[in-house]
Chains A and B, each alone.
Chain A
Amino acid sequence: MSETTFASGSRWLLFHAIAVFVFLYSPIAILILYSFNGEGVGGFPPHHLTLDWYRTLFADGPIWDSVLNSVQVALAAMVISLAFGVPAALALERAQFPGKAVFRRLVLLPLILPGIITGLSLLMLFNVMGTKLSLMTIILGHGTALISVATTEVFAGLQKLDRAQEEASLDLGANYWQTFWRITVPNLKLPIIGAALLIFTLSMDEIAVSFFLIGRDNTLPLEIWGRLRRGITPEINSVSTIIFVFSLVAIVLWYRLRMRGEGASSAGTEMVEAAEGHAG
């Protein structure tokens, strides 16, 4: 019924939706296009299509060093976020303790807080503790900020988990440790893999927190940032294109995992709702 009465209105909505998608995707499309441009990153129309910038990129030592640094940071941050984020989700769902509400808010705060505040507050901590800035401090920063992602993803999975299996395991004589590894974790496999993917991607892309915690070695986004300030060449477009493709693959994979876990298109909404303080 509503389909017909809304017909004229829905045409406008359709145009609007198309316009928004064009707005969202055209900058990325232009960026990719100009990564093949002969000279300069502006200049309409693009001309002399070439793969030269990709060749330059593959021969660019500092970029690849920074990629390696970023991968190390992302993997280590992933381990930290999961090691503390999974228990935090279990604690929020299953335990009562004083200060629980504050704890929940604190864990989730980095999701919505501008990166500058997370970065600067950690910078002050490291300064007071006399810790030298290095990739290690970036790892601690990313690891801490992204606990929020691990916690929301796993918390959402826990709420759909049937506790009967864990109960049976405990009744049959397994201890908590065995039950955790053999029942709880396998049942949370999808949310955990999803969280890991998301944490890896977000850490690879992160710049605001790293900006303040950087030592001598650059991560990839900071290496690019440094070059942007010196003037731009299509080589930046080609590295951005590659980053985009990798992020795209990771995000689509994550989404598919979420769909299998949920069967409804609400992936990602928990994160927003959690950041706003609704989880638990």
Chain B
Amino acid sequence: MFSRTYKAAVTLPPLVWVTVFLLMPYLLMFCYSFWSVSASQTIIHSWTLDNYRQLLRVDVYWQTLLRSMWIAARVTIFSLLLGYPLAYFLSLYAGKKKDLLYQLVIIPLWVSYLVRAYAWKTILGSDGVLNTLLQYVHLTKHPLEFLLYSPFAVVLTLTHIYTPFTFLPIYAALEHIPRNLVEASHDLGATPGQTFWKVIFPLSIPGVLAGATFAFVLSLGDFLAPLLLGGPSGIMISNIVVSLFGAAFNWPLGAAISLCMLALVVSLLFFSERLEKKWSFS
């Protein structure tokens, strides 16, 4: 029913905009990663693999990348441990309060990243709420220094931020499970544990994969929480990129690292989507 003109009119403007402001920048990032900088700090527009060679050769780059992946993996695991049972409870047991509780989970999802990261800084600092509370009740004599400026602080804060992200797709997956499947399992004599592991959990795997991907990808690329709470031992790969684009002024090398991150993210999305398709039953 829609004419060619209509289709062109709705397709072309976003297509052009997205090409200019999303596709071109990514391509440009790709180009930059094969360029280099001269001693006088101008970009040399001739193609070289030097940046990628440097990534493999200099330990700090791939070590930081591995550490970032380890931090992201911990965030993912903790978010799943917090998010899955919560989603399960809301979907199966919350009854009439379901809607209100759901709303209570998604509010933190959309509420300022900065506000929440800052809140953790005030809690974990050496004069922070937690340390002064511990001393007030005489559990400790001196402030616990490992709380702030450590990978621990980064993992804790990112888990706080990404738990609602993980919750959401798991909840959606649990809500899609036909309730008569669960009842059939009971009627056929399965124990609650068997019903969970043989019926409910397998059907929720696509949600788990989606949530895990979200938490992993978004925390992998984070640079603000490490800057605010990480200290020297909590530096992540994006912090290196930030300094390469700032003080160190080596955009090509920064672009090469960013491109590796982009490639990692896109391939993760690809695989998690393939896996989700495999596990979805509809």
Contacts and interface: CB of A to CB of B under 8 A. Distances in A.
Interface of A: 1-3, 5-6, 9-10, 13-14, 16-17, 20-21, 23-25, 27-28, 30-31, 34, 40-45, 83-85, 87-88, 90-91, 94-97, 103, 106-107, 109-110, 112-117, 120-125, 128, 140, 144, 147, 163, 166-167, 170, 176, 198, 201-202, 205, 207-208, 211-212, 221, 224-225, 228, 232, 236-237, 240, 243-244, 247-248, 251-252, 254-255, 259, 265-269, 272-273, 275-277
Contact of B18 (A28, A103, A113, A224): A103
Given A30-B129, A42-B122, A95-B2, A205 B114 contact: yes
B49 interface: no
Interface in B102-154: 102-116, 118-123, 125, 127-129, 131-133, 135-136
A244 B111 contact: yes
Given A120-B254, A125-B28, A115 B221 contact: yes
A25 B108 contact: yes
A144 B28 contact: no
Given A103-B18, A144-B22, A208-B223, A112 B214 contact: yes
A34 to B, nearest CB: 6
A211 B211 CA distance: 26
B232 interface: no
A51 B153 CA distance: 30
Nearest to B105: A24
B129 A28 contact: no
Contacts, number: 294
A114 B223 CA distance: 9
Nearest to A141: B21
A122 B20 CA distance: 10
A95 B122 contact: no
Contacts of B13: 83-84, 87
B36 to A, nearest CB: 15
A124 B128 contact: no
B18 A107 contact: yes
B258 interface: yes
